[in-house]
């Protein structure tokens, strides 16, 4: 990323990482310096322009002497501006010029102070310092992988390590709902908009906390960056049938419903008299997932034109690497008195609610 933004405050300059125009240090007044500590030190009045040098203070690297650049890096350039000869100078005894150090395509390593030095007796110097602002970046080291897997009831930690200057602020939020479920004082799950910090600590993880989390790092330098971490919560299957007893007239359609909760995903079967029921003919099996709660599945067995041979007990079972669960329900004949349309859905049947079956 390149940018031309820079902020100059007296002899201190703040510039953005990668800036193509670079940083510029320059004295501005035309006053001969006699003491390095003088308060209005904005000046270079040169006695012999060849005696001006630029030095990087941190490692004492000489960058230039006069108009000649000593460093081999093409990113550094020194220019002399507003040069006046002795005849043009107001004092007519000195040469005058403004020496500028240009730093192109700033890097983090360029952060620090630079000295403009006038090799006279006594030596005169002036400091210019640059602070390089760096956009945020999420580091692979110290950051969770794209997927974290835990057992339900265990603790989970999602980590996100970010760098940049100024130091980025790190926020966590859920990708879809936006709200993070956190344990409260008395252990219930409480929704919060976001959590700050490089570590998101989740205690006694619940299946409802499963999903994608976004780590977002931002500072004063755009753009903000983010990383997606998916939390998977594994737990054994549980099976529930909303109605354990269905009574339906013959020659009508009936629907048997089975609610399954599990992760990882389960293999689901409908059986009768230990025989697996497959889709086809008068039987149709339909499975529906829940987009916002991926651990939930609804399995529906539809029986077209109910016959006497269809009456009896049916079992819905779910199995995964975490275990197996099942639930049963019974279908009875329900005689309709009087004249009516004999075709009806399972919702109009006589139904007896069931208890949860784990």
What whole-number percentage of the chain has pLDDT above 70? 76
307 domain residue, yes or no: yes
The length of the chain is 358
For residue 347, what pLDDT is reported? 44
Q: Give the span between the Cα atoms of 126 and 261, in whole angstroms.
A: 72
The pLDDT confidence band at residue 15, using thresholds 50, 70 and 90, is: low
| Structure-block tokens of residue 196 | 């700050």
* 179 domain-assigned: yes
67 pLDDT higher than 80? no
Domain boundary among 202, 234, 266: 234
Higher pLDDT: 239 or 67? It is: 239
Share of the chain above pLDDT 90, in %: 54
pLDDT band at 39 (very low <50, low <70, confident <90, very high): very low
The answer to the question of residue 144 being in a domain is yes
Is 4 within a domain?
A: no
Domain range spanning residue 203? Answer: 139-234
In this structure, the answer to whether residues 20 and 120 fall within a common structural domain is yes
d(CA 65, CA 76): 13
Does residue 33 sit within a domain? Answer: no
Domain match, 108 and 129 both:
yes
CA angle 202, 158, 153 (to 5 degrees): 35
Domain shared by 248 and 228, yes or no: no
The verdict on 256 and 202 lying in the same domain is: no
In a domain, 123, yes or no: yes
Q: 190 and 293: one domain?
A: no
Average pLDDT, integer, range 189-199: 94
Among candidate residues 196, 211, 234, the one where a domain is terminated:
234
- pTM, two decimals, is 0.73
Whether residue 120 is found in the same domain as residue 171 = no
Mean pLDDT for the chain overall: 81
Q: Which of 234, 267, 301 is the last residue of a domain?
A: 234
Domain shared by 183 and 295, yes or no: no
Are 260 and 328 found together in one domain? yes
**Pair (229, 285) in one structural domain:** no
Higher pLDDT, 139 or 66: 139
Instruction: Give the model's pLDDT for residue 186.
Output: 79
Higher pLDDT, 102 or 36: 102
Q: Is residue 34 a part of any domain in this protein?
A: no
Which of 9-18, 32-41, 259-268 is most confident? 259-268
Query: Within a domain: residue 339?
Result: no
Q: What is the CATH number of the domain that holds 229?
A: 2.60.40.10
> What is the average pLDDT across 336-350?
48
Q: How far apart are CA 136 and CA 188, in angstroms?
A: 35
**How does pLDDT run across 270-298, given as a tens digit for each residue?**
999 999 999 999 999 999 999 889 999 99
Choice between 186 and 162, residue whose per-residue pLDDT is larger: 162
Structural domain tally of the chain? Answer: 3
pLDDT tens for residues 235-256?
999 999 999 999 999 999 999 9
Neighbours of 37 (CB within 10 A): 6
Q: What integer pLDDT is reported at residue 195 of this predicted model? A: 95
Same domain, 260 and 318: yes
Q: Is the pLDDT of residue 72 over 90?
A: no
Give yes or no for residue 344 having a pLDDT over 80: no
Does residue 228 share a domain with residue 252?
no
Mean pLDDT for the stretch of residues 216-222: 93
Same domain, 120 and 152: no
- In our burial notation (b when 16+ CB lie closer than 10 A, e otherwise), range 101-112 reads bebeebeeebbe
Question: 66, exposed or middle or buried, with CB in 10 Å at 0-12, 13-18, 19+?
Answer: middle
């Amino acid at each position: 990323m390149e940018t031309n933004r820079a902020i100059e405050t007296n002899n201190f300059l703040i510039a953005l990482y990668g800036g193509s125009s670079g940083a510029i240090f320059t004295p501005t007044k035309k006053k001969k310096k006699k003491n390095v500590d003088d308060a209005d030190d904005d000046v270079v009045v040169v006695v012999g322009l060849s005696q001006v040098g630029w030095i990087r203070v941190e490692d004492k690297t000489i960058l230039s002497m006069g108009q000649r650049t000593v460093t081999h890096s093409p990113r550094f350039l020194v220019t002399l501006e507003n040069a006046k000869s002795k005849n043009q100078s107001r004092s007519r005894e000195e040469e005058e010029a403004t020496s500028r150090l240009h730093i192109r395509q700033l890097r983090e390593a360029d952060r620090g102070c630079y000295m403009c030095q006038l090799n006279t007796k006594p030596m005169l110097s002036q400091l210019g310092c640059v602070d390089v602002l760096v956009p945020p970046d999420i580091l692979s080291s110290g950051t969770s992988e794209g997927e974290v897997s835990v057992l339900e009831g265990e603790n989970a930690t999602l980590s996100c390590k970010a760098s940049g200057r100024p130091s980025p602020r790190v926020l966590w939020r859920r990708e879809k709902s936006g709200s993070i479920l956190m344990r409260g004082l008395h252990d219930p799950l409480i929704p919060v908009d976001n959590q700050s910090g490089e570590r998101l600590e989740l205690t006694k993880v619940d299946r409802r906390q499963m999903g994608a989390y976004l780590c977002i790092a931002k500072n004063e330098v755009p753009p903000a960056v983010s990383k997606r971490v998916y939390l998977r919560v594994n737990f054994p299957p549980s099976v529930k049938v909303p109605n354990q007893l269905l009574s339906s007239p013959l020659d009508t359609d009936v629907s048997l419903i089975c609610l399954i909760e599990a992760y990882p995903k389960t293999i689901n079967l409908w059986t009768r008299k230990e025989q697996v029921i497959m889709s086809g003919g008068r039987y149709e099996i339909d499975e529906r997932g829940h987009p916002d709660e991926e651990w939930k599945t609804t399995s529906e067995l539809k029986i077209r034109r109910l016959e006497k041979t269809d009456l009896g007990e049916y079992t819905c079972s779910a199995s995964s690497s975490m275990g197996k669960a099942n639930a049963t329900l019974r279908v009875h004949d329900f005689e309709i008195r009087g004249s009516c349309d004999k075709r009806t859905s399972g919702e109009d049947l006589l139904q007896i609610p069931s208890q949860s079956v784990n």
